[in-house]
Amino acid sequence: MINKKTTLASHESGAKKKISTNKTQRGRTSASTNYEKRIGRTNHKAARTRRLKNESRMRRPVLSERVLSKKHSDVVPELPKDTVRVLTLGGVEEIGRNMTAIEYNDDIWIVDAGFMFREDDTPGIDYILPNTKYLEERKEKIRGIIITHGHLDHTGALTYITDALGAPPIYTREFTAVMIKKRYEEFPEVKLPEIIVVEPKQTLKIGSLPVTFFGTTHTIPDSMGVIIETPYGGVVITGDIKLDHEDGVVFKKEYEAFEIFKKKKALVLLMDSTNTSRPGWSIPEHKVFNTFEDIIKNAKGKRLIIGTFASQIERVIKIIEIAEKNGRKVAIDGRSMVNNLAIAKELGYMKVKDSTFITLEQMPDYPVDKVLILATGAQGDEYASLMRMANETHKFIKLRPEDIVVLSSSVIPGNERAVQKLKDKIARLGPHIVTYETSDVHASGHGNREEARWIHQQIKPKFFIPHHGFYYMLRVHADLAVETGMPEENVVIPDTGSVIEIQEQGSKIVHLKEKAPNITRVVEGKKVKDIQSTVIADRKMLAQEGIFVIVATIQMRTGKLKKSPDIISRGFVYLRDSQELLGQVRLLIKKIVEDTMRKYPHPDLDKLKQELQAAISDYLLQQTHKMPIVIPVVVTV
């Protein structure tokens, strides 16, 4: 349920995320000199083979620094009395799965609980979550989860973690509260925590400390920052943030929002770093609105198809209002966009007429220049609406040369190829394409360097921890803080799982060498589990190199193979075209098995498998320059 109240029962939580850097080891040993001679290799060629093997091992896929972590201690020291501890459980070294925990004496406050979608280095995974083991072990101390806004990289983990944390209450603003409640409806097996709606400039006592909220500008309604007020000053977390301005002149509403810091001392600031490497000021959203005014007004005789993020709710609402003003009907294609607009309408953010909307099936009933389609999939998602249009598989929409397709989003890092593929396919079908590269049809929800500078000047923190961004972004933001006058020793750049303490009554900041537990925690299907780096590395190896299975049936009485070994290959070579290679592999298997049986009538079958695996791996590498996963199966009769 969602309540507007100021009381809070004690609740619990616990954990943290980071990941291990153990590289996968596969038992590959070099072949014997006799084996090299048997396959006719000279010493020179043998040396070349060893070099290829080393190079192949270097190429062997391993998880990135984000998914694998350096060795660390899972034992975090007890929190000294009257020390403020900050744990960056997600949202650093990456974009996504934002989670920060603040611990003071017997209380823990969690700020945000997001997830990340799977990436190239996490095959077979649906979502990546913050590792909350640290919090689970201390869940009796958790006083609440504070959510800064409704995007999934700040809310998506909630349904997967709140039961394990003792279902602590959630504090957030109204729009976010309704979005969270609707998401829990998709998980009926998970208990919905109490949701307490808060407002900017409101202060609640949560646990032993007062907590104050302040409004921020982002791309979704009801975004906010939070101040956890310790005896030494406030722990300030901005969430995702930019400024509303005109050519660098900050609007009055921003000054009003940050007036709160004239009366409050900021002990430490954790702030969005995403765009601090970009000079100047970001494009304000009202300029994007003006661009859409021009596009929609001037698209005479054209059907308009606009692709954007479903989470860009304020922009989507404005586009609908402009379409209505220009006499166009609006068709929505994308479940997430439909759901978000329903929330916006329910809360009074969208005031257009119901008659403005039509279904996809109704579009043929209207002239093409009286229709505007809002669609998801501007990032090239394979099954999203725009890609289905581009692939000519959409049931209701066929692209034609007289269409204008607007991609109202930037390209998320990692999606470059998918977006380029989408644009190429649309271009082949003839529509005119408008992107953020050619027109102001998109503005980031994260402020540029000068906006960050302005925010630092308003808050004036004693210490600074850059937040929300890859490590380079954090470093650039740290440099900016020093530019504004902060001593270098007062700035700490965190990793995922960092434990940072403000000690000696708020006079010193210390980055502990210990880290919170950080094995990768993922969602696969409906199951949440910790996944070891070796599992991911093997999945990547299977995808890149393939698998080669040999089945050797040994007649124990004679010590010989009962029949020619069976071979199964997937993703490595096509068996029909590789008969000579397979024949040599079979001869090698026969020699190794029979030599072993001759020496040891009752051999250790595990050692025999290891020898087969090593020798065959080496031979396949020499012949193909590839290293598939070799799995020997030995059957005795």
pLDDT for residue 634: 87
pLDDT for residue 36: 36
Sign of CA dihedral 436, 442, 446, 450: positive
DSSP 398-416: ---TTEEEEEES-PPTT-H
- CA 569-574-578 angle, to 5 degrees, is 100
Residues 6+ apart with CB under 8 A from 50: 30
pLDDT for residue 53: 52
DSSP 8-class letter at 191: P
In angstroms, the CA 138 to CA 522 distance is 21
Q: CB–CB of 592/561 below 8 Å?
A: no
Burial 354-363 (b: 16+ CB within 10 A, else e): eebbbebeeb
Q: CB–CB of 271/138 below 8 Å?
A: no
DSSP 260-306: GGGTS-EEEEEEE-TTTTS-S-PPPHHHHHHHHHHHHHH-TT-EEEE
Please identify every stretch of the chain with a pLDDT value under 50, giving residue numbers as ranges. Answer: 1, 3-49, 51-52, 55-73
Ordered domains of the chain (ranges, CATH): 2-16+74-280+446-531 (3.60.15.10), 303-434 (3.40.50.10710), 546-636 (3.10.20.580)
Residues 6+ apart with CB under 8 A from 19: 63, 66, 67, 68, 69, 496, 518, 519, 520, 533
Q: CB–CB of 554/561 below 8 Å?
A: yes
Q: How far is CA 221 from CA 35, 143, 523, in A?
A: 70, 25, 28
**Strand arrangement of the beta sheet that strand 2-3 belongs to:** 2-3, 195-197, 170-172, 142-146, 107-111, 99-104, 84-90, 498-503, 508-515
pLDDT for residue 54: 52
**Count of CA atoms in the C-beta half-sphere (13 A) of 363:** 20
- Residue reference for tokens 């997937």: 570
- Residue reference for tokens 């060498």: 513
